[in-house]
Amino acid sequence: MLCDICGKNQATVHLTEIVDEQMNELHLCEECARQKSAQMESQFGLSELLAGMAEFEKPSKEKELEFATLKCPNCGLTYSDFKKIGRLGCGGCYTAFKKYLGPLLKKIHGSSIHFGKSPFKAGRGAKKRIDLSELRSKLQKAIEAEEFEEAASIRDQIKNFEEKQSQQNDVPKEQA
Amino acid sequence: MKLDDLLNHSSEWLKGTGPNSDIVVSSRLRLARNLDKFPFPHWADKKQGEDVFTAIEAAVGKIDYLKNITTYKLAELDSVDKQFLVERHLMSLEHAQKTNHKALIIDEDEVLSLMINEEDHIRCQVMQSGFNLFEAWNIINKIDDSLAKELAFAFSRDWGYLTACPTNTGTGMRGSVMLHLPALVMTHQVDRILAAISKLSFTTRGLYGEGTQATGNFFQISNQVSLGHSEEEIIENINGLIRQIIEQENQARELMVSRNRAMLEDRINRSFGILKSAHIITSQETIELLSMVRLGCDLNMLKDIGCPNINELFIITQPAHLQKMEGKRLSSQERDVKRADIIRDRLKKY
């Protein structure tokens, strides 16, 4: 049997490919198989990994339906689209898919609470200072959401921050 | 500034200066930002893509301390030009593909580059020579603040900056440090270290970022986590890790010099000899040999060459650079000859 791609060399690699529920059998020579596998590798990227992270089991029919109808009102991307392409459609998707993205972000980053800079505080000498009252409200939120690991990490940060403050007497104490 | 002018110009990150520049080639920070309400580039239509570009270009134009910047529309560049910009680390491989509404803004010193409509609306990048992430942070933080005054970014109080891919959400920041670790490779310790790094949520990549192989003993290490820590904490975490790797590489270098000096001098001088006399050379072989010569310079075994000259050779021997210098397309065989010519010419005085 000759190779399906180049039609020149003997096919030694036999591959079954499923595209859009259509099953195709490919018989390839070694050279073409190598190229094909390089192609497949580059396609197997982040989106598959992310989709895999979002849930461990294959979702039920009802869930599939929910994912397909859960749509971002700003850009029209559905949660199914996100699972397929691994990219969100706009900032609004984060609100629309909040219920699923929270746990996903936590899986990816080990946390789902932002501690970095904010565009609203941008300005002169914009070195970010941790805002104690903001930290406390985040702690409260984490406890309410029963995110205890998260809560423990925020608690440590508050403790850390307070210790640093008490060491630097010249820094005025922040009111909570 | 015309693209061709960059040919006679040495990038900031190739200067071979800055802290620990014998081991750390460069430090790079990038911030991912998106405009509120606009669909992310992959989900945007033509008009939206153009509007995003126009808004960002106008905002950048208002930052008065950014002088001598040039905007390139990717759709107007040919494939050699695009490859040329990737080789100079001014943009990603991804930015060179599917060029609709994509643009690149760079400054004259090649410290700042702003990719517009890459995976996110803005990918702002600052490069520094040597081990210098905090300096890069000072520069990029200031630019980001200035942009935030002109543009409304997609941001959530809980989740930070909102990005097309959830792996960048939060600070949207990725810090990468390019390391040259020949002694750890030669003493077979590097796999152990890289395995440990991946357990600490850092990633290792090759010279050209995502999806590229580590060659010539160069490794790019970057943070994976962008949410849950402040920018300074993330940088401090990377720095802590890099300091340990530098120490390990230094120890391995000392060990090799004390125990295997003759072997080391032999490899370095043979590499130098091949580069000085070859008439046909591939880019892969060039990088591997230059890596040894660079080590020779760092260990003072090869004198007078100077790290910047070697660094420059790494870049001008890349395929698109060779073709830009020659002013025409060259086949791979022609490039191997041209590459060897340039290297012989540059090294003949040493």
The percent of residues in chain B predicted with pLDDT above 70, rounded, is 98
Query: With an 8 Å Cβ cutoff, is A151 touching chain B?
Result: no
Judge contact between B19 and B132, C-beta under 8 A: yes
Mean pLDDT of B224-245: 94
Which amino acid makes up residue B227? L
Mean pLDDT of A149-160: 81
> Which residues of chain B from 116 to 145 reach within 8 Å of chain A, CB to CB?
119, 141-142, 144-145
Contact B43 A75 (CB under 8 A): yes
Identify which has the larger pLDDT, B31 or A143.
B31
Alpha carbon B211 to its chain centroid, in Å, reads 14
pLDDT of residue B194: 85
Q: How confident is the model at residue A38 (pLDDT cuts 50, 70, 90)?
A: low
> Which residues of chain B from 225 to 284 reach within 8 Å of chain A, CB to CB?
225-233
Q: Which residues pair with A155 in a beta bridge?
A: none
| Average pLDDT over all residues of chain B | 92
Which tens digit of pLDDT belongs to each residue from A119-149?
985 433 333 445 676 777 788 888 877 788 8
- 3-class secondary-structure state, position B268: helix
The percent of residues in chain B predicted with pLDDT above 90, rounded, is 77
> Nearest CA to CA, how far is A81 from chain B (Å)?
11
pLDDT of residue B4: 85
Closest CA to B107 of B69, B136, B73, B72: B69
Least confident window among A97-106, A120-129, B213-222: A120-129
Residue numbers in B near A94 (CB within 8 A): 156, 159, 162, 169
Does B316 have pLDDT greater than 60? Answer: yes
| Average pLDDT over all residues of chain A | 74
Distance between CA atoms of A64 and A62, rounded to whole angstroms? 5
Closest CA to B284 of B215, B344, B220: B215
Q: How confident is the model at residue B200 (pLDDT cuts 50, 70, 90)?
A: confident
What sign results for the dihedral spanned by CA atoms A115, A117, A120, A121?
positive
Most confident of A2-11, B303-312, B314-323: B314-323
- pTM: predicted TM-score of the whole model, two decimal places: 0.80
Q: Residue B229 is nearest to which of A75, A91, A115, comparing CB atoms? A: A115
Contact A112 B153 (CB under 8 A): no
Which tens digit of pLDDT belongs to each residue from B98-155?
878 999 999 988 999 999 999 999 999 999 999 999 999 999 999 999 999 999 999 9
Least confident window among A54-58, B61-65, B100-104: A54-58
Does A42 have pLDDT greater than 50? Answer: no
pLDDT of residue A33: 72
Residue numbers in B near A108 (CB within 8 A): 166-167, 225, 227
Query: With an 8 Å Cβ cutoff, is A116 touching chain B?
Result: yes
Distance between CA atoms of A68 and A70, rounded to whole angstroms? 6
Phi/psi of residue B331, nearest 5 degrees:
-70, 170
Q: How confident is the model at residue B280 (pLDDT cuts 50, 70, 90)?
A: very high
CA angle B311, B19, B342 (to 5 degrees): 5
Least confident window among A129-138, A153-162, B26-35: A129-138
Judge contact between B212 and B234, C-beta under 8 A: no
Mean pLDDT of B233-241: 95
